[in-house]
Amino acid sequence: MYNYVIVGAGFAGAVMAERIANELNEKVLVIEKRNHIGGNAFDCYDDQGVLIHQYGPHIFHTRNKDVWDYLSQFTEWYLYHHEVLGVLDGNRVPIPFNLNTLHTVFPPSLAGKLEEKLISSFGYNVKVPILKLRETDDDDLQFLADYIYEKIFLHYTVKQWGVKPEDLDPAVTGRVPVYISRDNRYFQDRYQGMPKKGYTKLFENLFANKNIHVMLNTDYHDVLTFNSENGSTELFGQPFNGKLIYSGKVDELFNYEFGELPYRSLRFEFESLQQNEYQAVGTVNYPNDYDFTRITEFKHLTGQDVANTTIVKEFPQSYEKDVPGKDIPYYPIQNDDNQEKYSLYKNKAKQFDNLILLGRLAEYRYYDMDAVVAMALKVFRDKVNK
Ligand code: FAD
Ligand code: UDP
């Protein structure tokens, strides 16, 4: 009955299902173990009527016009540019560290000198990852790099990942580079915004085609078996000869035969407050204080006009697949060892023409939403609609 089965109803699964149903006019079954669509981008109204993101704050931003235009068929946008402040020695300063931050934390003469050196060494409107700035041989810039490393990156990263910045793929801290600019925004992408009616509504629109059947509350193991030796697949106890598009954890699909891929998990604490506003911007980072990394106030992100407000604190924790409360694999931990382990799974998966791995868990990549959408559109073009 189905030529296509998708595991996971997040961005990877939803974009694939939409393309298969609308472009190929084929039936597709989506299997999702949670009781809702949307994956980690799921949002809903809390009991105080505030639109919240259940799995942590999600801000959409992309440089990719195709992705923006594609999603714009399924949502209108609330045009929002994210701003983050970091609490440093009790003061709130712009993050990423930029020239405004420089002038807030140092006296004018020192800030002026450092600004000149930054611009003459790297240029203006340039982003410099902290680990790169630390390689400088200029004494003043070394002082600055040490300051930023210590005050912004070191303790935040140890909280978030359990290791120091230099023990992760440099791309991780490179996501929030020092920015030689006066631009206080967290992202500089050309297209930024939040789905006007929320992410879940956007997902409902992606899944709207009658050819798509979404089975919620269903772990794929309950209805589908995948033989990782020969790739043969059964669906509801019958041989399945179509394509399996898998966006769950790749180690799970292969019964952990090369060992578990490590992840970082989070615990969220939501607080509803009977006040109009809690903080001046969407997110405030606490690199050095408390056990949480950041506090996000949702109404800044969504633009929702309500009298009260809801915030969320993010407490990083280790991921343990069999321990309730710690069993959501939020972040792949990017380093060389883990990448090597992942490639064993990837190479094995390549043997099976009927299997496509897609998304943050299946590809073990620190993907943002737009990158998952871009990859889903590409995989559809290259491997499904060929
Ligand atoms: P997911 O959204 O994880 O979807 C995978 C789905 O597969 C899940 O619904 C899961 O339940 C299901 N599944 C897994 N195993 C099984 C199984 N055995 N059986 C059935 N179903 C299964 N990106 C941004 O662009 N901007 C942001 O601001 C941003 N903020 C983030 C904040 C946090 C705290 C986190 C964790 C991520 C953030 N992201 C952000 C990244 C974003 O969440 C991902 O890029 C996106 O959700 C990936 O989509 P996906 O479909 O690959 O995975
Ligand atoms: N980071 C940091 N201090 C900050 C902000 C970010 O050390 O104030 C580092 C940290 O290692 C973090 C990474 O940069 O995990 C990426 O930050 P980002 O805000 O992109 O993380 P995400 O939103 O994906 O959790």
Query: Domain check: are 255 and 372 in the same one?
Result: yes
* Residue percentage of the chain with pLDDT more than 70: 100
Task: Output the residue whose Cα is nearest ligand 1's atom 17.
Answer: 219
User: CA triplet 169, 171, 176: central angle to 5 degrees?
Assistant: 130
Ligand 1 pocket test: pick from 19, 194, 199, 369 the residue with the most ligand atoms within 8 Å of its Cβ. Answer: 369
Written as six digits, the tokens of 185 are 């925004």
Query: Domain check: are 215 and 170 in the same one?
Result: no
Alpha carbon of 177 to ligand 2 centroid (Å): 10
Whether residue 242 lies inside any domain: the answer is yes
Query: Domain check: are 165 and 213 in the same one?
Result: no
Whether residue 295 lies inside any domain: the answer is no
Q: Does the CB atom of residue 366 touch ligand 1 within 6 A?
A: no
Alpha carbon of 318 to ligand 2 centroid (Å): 17
| Whole-angstrom distance, CA of residue 341 vs CA of residue 188 | 33
Alpha carbon of 34 to ligand 2 centroid (Å): 27
Alpha carbon of 17 to ligand 2 centroid (Å): 31
Ligand nearest to the CA of 97: 2
pLDDT digits (tens, 9 = 90+) for 98-121: 999 999 999 999 999 999 999 999
Whether residue 64 lies inside any domain: the answer is no
Query: Domain check: are 104 and 219 in the same one?
Result: no
Query: Domain check: are 220 and 176 in the same one?
Result: no
Task: Please state the rounded mean pLDDT for residues 246-263.
Answer: 97
95 with 153: CB under 8 angstroms?
A: no
Ligand nearest to the CA of 174: 2
Alpha carbon of 173 to ligand 2 centroid (Å): 6
AA letter at 147: Y
Q: At 342, phi and psi to the nearest 5?
A: -60, -40
Query: Domain check: are 241 and 374 in the same one?
Result: yes
Q: What is the pLDDT of residue 386?
A: 78
Whether residue 169 lies inside any domain: the answer is yes
Alpha carbon of 285 to ligand 2 centroid (Å): 9
CA–chain centroid gap for 277, Å, is: 26
Point out the domain boundary residue: 180, 197, 218: 180
Q: What is the pLDDT of residue 376?
A: 98
Q: At 26, phi and psi to the nearest 5?
A: -110, 155
| Whole-angstrom distance, CA of residue 160 vs CA of residue 264 | 8
Whether residue 224 lies inside any domain: the answer is yes
Point out the domain boundary residue: 180, 198, 216: 180
What are the C-alpha distances in Å from 93 to residues 84, 113, 152, 251? 8, 19, 11, 41
Strand partners, 98: 179
Query: Domain check: are 217 and 104 in the same one?
Result: no
pLDDT digits (tens, 9 = 90+) for 204-221: 999 999 999 999 999 999
ipTM field: 0.99
Binding-site residues, ligand 2, Cβ < 6 A: 86, 95, 152-153, 156-157, 160, 172-173, 175-176, 285, 287
With b meaning 16 or more CB within 10 Å and e meaning fewer, what string describes 69-83?
ebbeebbebbebbbb
Point out the domain boundary residue: 162, 180, 198: 180
Q: List the domain range (segments joined by +) for residue 356.
A: 4-37+207-260+333-384
Evaluated on CA atoms 322, 17, 28, 253, the torsion sign reads negative
Whether residue 16 lies inside any domain: the answer is yes
Written as six digits, the tokens of 192 are 């930024």
Q: Residue 385 above 90 pLDDT?
A: no
In the chain, % helix, strand, coil (3-state, to 5) comes to 35, 25, 40
Query: Domain check: are 15 and 154 in the same one?
Result: no
Query: How many Cβ atoms sit within 10 Å of the Cβ of residue 161?
Result: 19
Is residue 1 very low, low, confident or very high in pLDDT (cuts 50, 70, 90)?
A: confident
Ligand nearest to the CA of 249: 1
Q: Does the CB atom of residue 8 touch ligand 1 within 6 A?
A: yes
Query: Domain check: are 229 and 174 in the same one?
Result: no
Query: Domain check: are 236 and 176 in the same one?
Result: no
Q: At 385, phi and psi to the nearest 5?
A: -95, 60
Domain CATH for 244: 3.40.50.720
Written as six digits, the tokens of 155 are 């303790």
Whether residue 243 lies inside any domain: the answer is yes
Strand partners, 7: 31, 246
Task: Output the residue whose Cα is nearest ligand 1's atom 15.
Answer: 248
Query: Domain check: are 224 and 95 in the same one?
Result: no
| Whole-angstrom distance, CA of residue 350 vs CA of residue 355 | 8
Ligand nearest to the CA of 12: 1
SS3 annotation, 105-162:
HCCHHHHHHHHHHHHHHHCCCEEECHHHHCCCCCHHHHHHHHHHHHHHHHHHHHHHHC
Overall domain count for the chain: 2
Query: Domain check: are 93 and 174 in the same one?
Result: yes
Alpha carbon of 248 to ligand 1 centroid (Å): 9
pLDDT digits (tens, 9 = 90+) for 111-170: 999 999 999 999 999 999 999 999 999 999 999 999 999 999 999 999 999 999 999 999
Whether residue 23 lies inside any domain: the answer is yes
Alpha carbon of 156 to ligand 2 centroid (Å): 7
Ligand nearest to the CA of 368: 1
